[in-house]
Amino acid sequence: MPYPGAPAQADSRSVLSIPAFRKLWNSMAFSSFGDWLGLLATTALAQQLAGGNYSKANFAIAGVFIVRLLPAVILGPIAGVIADRFDRRRLMIVCDILRFGLYLSIPLVGNYFWLYTATVLVESVTLFWSPAKEASVPNLVPKNKLESANQVTLLASYGTAPIAAVMFSLLALFAGGLEKIVSHRYASTADLALYIDAISFLYTAWVVSRIKGLPKGGVSKTAANENIATSLLAGFKFVSKSKIISGLIFGMLGAFFAAGAVIGLARTFVGDLHAGDAAYGVLFGSVFTGLALGISAGPKLFSQFSRRRIFGASLAVSSFFLIVLATITNLVLAIVFVVLLGAFAGLSWVTGFTMLGLEVEDEVRGRTFAFVQSLIRISLVLVLAVAPVIAASIGRHTYHFGRYTVAYNGAAFTMFAAGVIGLAVGVLSYHRMKDRPSVSLWSDIKNAVRGELGGITGATRSGIFISFEGGEGSGKSTQTKLLKDYLESIGETVLLTREPGGTELGVKIREILLANETGHISPRGEALLYAADRAHHVYSMIKPALDAGSVVITDRYIDSSIAYQGAGRVLAPSEVARISRWATESLTPTLTFILDLPAEIGLKRAGANPDRLESEPLAFHERVRNEFLNLSNIDPERYAVIDATQSIEAIHDQIKERVSHLALLKINSAKLQK
């Protein structure tokens, strides 16, 4: 279930300053609040009607989730098309009034049949209300503010879940005193929540009635109205062909599997801990509080960590906390572990969706996201429905260990099993997607914390980016030209450039950096000059060429700064890497060739008139060579170390063989997009 991070405060204020959109946003916030409160209330009522029967209560709660799923499966593909044929404002008002009446009737009737019937009807009505709301947003805000509008819209949809949980807990405390005045038949926590839920929809109907200028709608067919089966099939065809994307989706489903098990079993689990509705509300809210923390704070805390690794690792940690949660019999500890579970599940979710946006090409991104959203929606609700059924089947169990007696019931066993499955999915996803197989996880964590190169997985671009690195006299210039000629001979568009000096500005910086007349430059100043050249180089030449689908070959890039200004000048390589990563917006080469040559041989090849760097002592150049080799060990999939003592032809043949795999990948990607 998506839980977006909050948009930038300035953007939020800007879009909410539009009167019509602000009114619609208010209606969305209260409507979502009502939905979440209704979910809490109906599941609590289902357990209440079970009269203390453990199996019956679990089956009843599962029934609530099942009937919430049925309308989306049956009406989902057509509700949006039908809704688009009516006046949107009137449709939203009518839907809210209907939801008001249906939620109000549930506690008044007070039996399972009407609980399920009314839930089906409410979900059916919501399927017509939602597309009318979604279609109205673009008509109320300028195009340049639509992204911000979508962010605050999602915040209204999912950010109200913890608020609803707090309200439910407060109602549980209030209901105890009210039952002394009014019969428990009409004043339980679930009943009070349903009354407030009903009133919230009446309020949203009034808010929408005051919005002027909403369009009546048209009969356009949008992606949102696409048949779920069609979306799943189209998405599956693309996803199944990509190891990374299939691993992402597999892992994301595991994250929702763990979170869904907690949500679906929360009411029963709280009852097993001998707590009431107030504790249920707190536990429910704790899941979403943890999700919010993971989504908002996680990417910042782990900003230097490889996304591919953090995805599987955070999923595994989240599932581990679910296993621990299943063994806990103390409510306070349970709440703490639920927050931690939710935080790592949220981190896994936001990392997964970020990587999908980076890994999936624009031409197929829409259908892929449609596939993911549909699959997650169905899978999550199925987990919510099935988990209570399994818990009910297991039932209550008491174990005696000498003088100690321990009670573990179906909810705990089911959560434990879900945690084990989630842990297996996380470990499998981690091994399937890790981008530095020869480096241990702990080593990667230490490198990421220190800000070492390779900590961030950069954005995927249409072209191929190849860099050549190595010490003085290693033959980089010769090999870059030979590779350019070869790639152009097989039909590729190639940009050959160098650092420093790839741009007009770079030429001037190169003169300063390499001229002997410049004299001594402070190591930090030198590093900043190289970073300035690189920032302009990437901005003005490399990125545009990559976006156009070209192959970019550069003679030196970030690794040279790390080796020369880091190891050579005895600065911290991590600091130099961080500066260059910021300057390039984390643009990382697809492939880096390191032409390795003993420093002494390289300096002899450099010529009789050495420049400012070539004039450095042998020890300097040995440190540079060793640092290049150290970098190649960090990420062996990206680096290719070639012995530069070989002949020019032998080196070129090895380069061609390695690059041919990249060219093949590019061709396959183009075919896949078509």
State yes or no: pLDDT of 538 exceeds 90.
Answer: yes
Contact between 590 and 493 under an 8 Å Cβ cutoff? The reply is: no
Contact between 439 and 430 under an 8 Å Cβ cutoff? The reply is: no
Task: Quote the pLDDT of residue 149.
Answer: 66
Decide which of 192, 225, 258 is a domain's last residue.
225
Candidates 239, 662, 636, 296; CA nearest to 434 is: 636
* φ and ψ at residue 298, rounded to 5 degrees: -55, -50
State yes or no: pLDDT of 237 exceeds 60.
Answer: yes
State yes or no: pLDDT of 452 exceeds 60.
Answer: no
Task: Quote the pLDDT of residue 110.
Answer: 77
Domain count, the chain: 3
What the block records as the tokens of 128 is: 């017509």
State yes or no: pLDDT of 365 exceeds 60.
Answer: no
Residue 503 sits in the same domain as residue 567: yes
What contacts 649, CB < 8 A, 6 or more positions away? none
Residue 173 sits in the same domain as residue 301: no
State yes or no: pLDDT of 240 exceeds 70.
Answer: no
State yes or no: pLDDT of 357 exceeds 60.
Answer: no
Q: Is 611 contained in some domain? A: yes
Decide which of 225, 250, 268 is a domain's last residue.
225
What is the CATH number for 534?
A: 3.40.50.300
Q: Can you tell me the mean pLDDT for 379-385?
A: 72
Q: Can you tell me the mean pLDDT for 252-265?
A: 72
Output DSSP code: residue 417: H
Task: Quote the pLDDT of residue 555.
Answer: 94
Residue 422 sits in the same domain as residue 503: no
Contact between 316 and 434 under an 8 Å Cβ cutoff? The reply is: no
Helix 189-209 and helix 19-49: axis angle, to 10°? 160
Q: What percent of the chain has pLDDT over 70?
A: 72
Higher pLDDT, 642 or 213: 642
Task: Quote the pLDDT of residue 470.
Answer: 92
Residue 177 sits in the same domain as residue 253: no
Decide which of 179, 196, 225 is a domain's last residue.
225
Q: Is 443 contained in some domain? A: no
Task: Quote the pLDDT of residue 466.
Answer: 94
Q: CA torsion, points 553, 558, 559, 565, in degrees to nearest 10?
A: 140
Burial 440-452 (b: 16+ CB within 10 A, else e): eeeebbebbeebb
State yes or no: pLDDT of 602 exceeds 90.
Answer: no
Residues 52-83 have pLDDT tens digits of 676 777 777 777 877 776 776 666 556 655 66
* 560: confidence class by pLDDT, cuts 50, 70, 90: very high
Beta bridge partners of 641: 594
Higher pLDDT, 8 or 296: 296
* 637: confidence class by pLDDT, cuts 50, 70, 90: confident
Residue 107 sits in the same domain as residue 118: yes
Q: Which residue has the tokens 């050549």?
A: 468
Task: Quote the pLDDT of residue 145.
Answer: 64
* 665: confidence class by pLDDT, cuts 50, 70, 90: very low
What contacts 540, CB < 8 A, 6 or more positions away? 503
Q: Is 345 contained in some domain? A: yes
Q: Is 647 contained in some domain? A: yes
Helix 331-359 and helix 362-394: axis angle, to 10°? 160
- Of 319-323, 427-431, 634-638, the one with minimum mean pLDDT is 634-638
Residue 374 sits in the same domain as residue 459: no
- Of 459-468, 484-493, 520-529, 579-588, the one with minimum mean pLDDT is 459-468
Give dist(CA 407, CA 274) in Å, integer. Answer: 11
Q: Is 273 contained in some domain? A: yes
Residue 1 sits in the same domain as residue 147: yes
Residues 159-212 have pLDDT tens digits of 677 788 788 888 877 776 665 555 555 567 778 888 888 888 888 888 888 887
Residue 250 sits in the same domain as residue 305: yes
Q: Is 16 contained in some domain? A: yes
Residues 421-434 have pLDDT tens digits of 888 888 888 877 76
Q: Is 481 contained in some domain? A: yes
Residue 181 sits in the same domain as residue 305: no
Q: Can you tell me the mean pLDDT for 81-99?
A: 79
* 467: confidence class by pLDDT, cuts 50, 70, 90: very high
Residue 550 sits in the same domain as residue 669: yes
Mean pLDDT of the chain: 76
Task: Quote the pLDDT of residue 373.
Answer: 57
State yes or no: pLDDT of 220 exceeds 70.
Answer: no
What contacts 656, CB < 8 A, 6 or more positions away? 483, 486
Q: Where are the alpha helices (DSSP H) in 210-276?
A: 228-239, 243-272
Residue 490 sits in the same domain as residue 540: yes
Q: Can you tell me the mean pLDDT for 109-113?
A: 81
Higher pLDDT, 78 or 290: 290
Q: Can you tell me the mean pLDDT for 325-350?
A: 84
Contact between 563 and 628 under an 8 Å Cβ cutoff? The reply is: yes
State yes or no: pLDDT of 655 exceeds 90.
Answer: yes
What is the CATH number for 247?
A: 1.20.1250.20
Q: Can you tell me the mean pLDDT for 527-552?
A: 92
* 377: confidence class by pLDDT, cuts 50, 70, 90: low
What the block records as the tokens of 44 is: 């609590």
Q: Which residue has the tokens 């923390």?
A: 293
Task: Quote the pLDDT of residue 403.
Answer: 74
Q: Can you tell me the mean pLDDT for 563-573?
A: 86
Residue 420 sits in the same domain as residue 381: yes
Task: Quote the pLDDT of residue 457.
Answer: 45
Contact between 125 and 95 under an 8 Å Cβ cutoff? The reply is: yes
- Which range marks the domain in which residue 604 is found? 453-673
Q: Is 448 contained in some domain? A: no
What the block records as the tokens of 126 is: 């919501």
Higher pLDDT, 322 or 239: 322
What contacts 13, CB < 8 A, 6 or more positions away? none
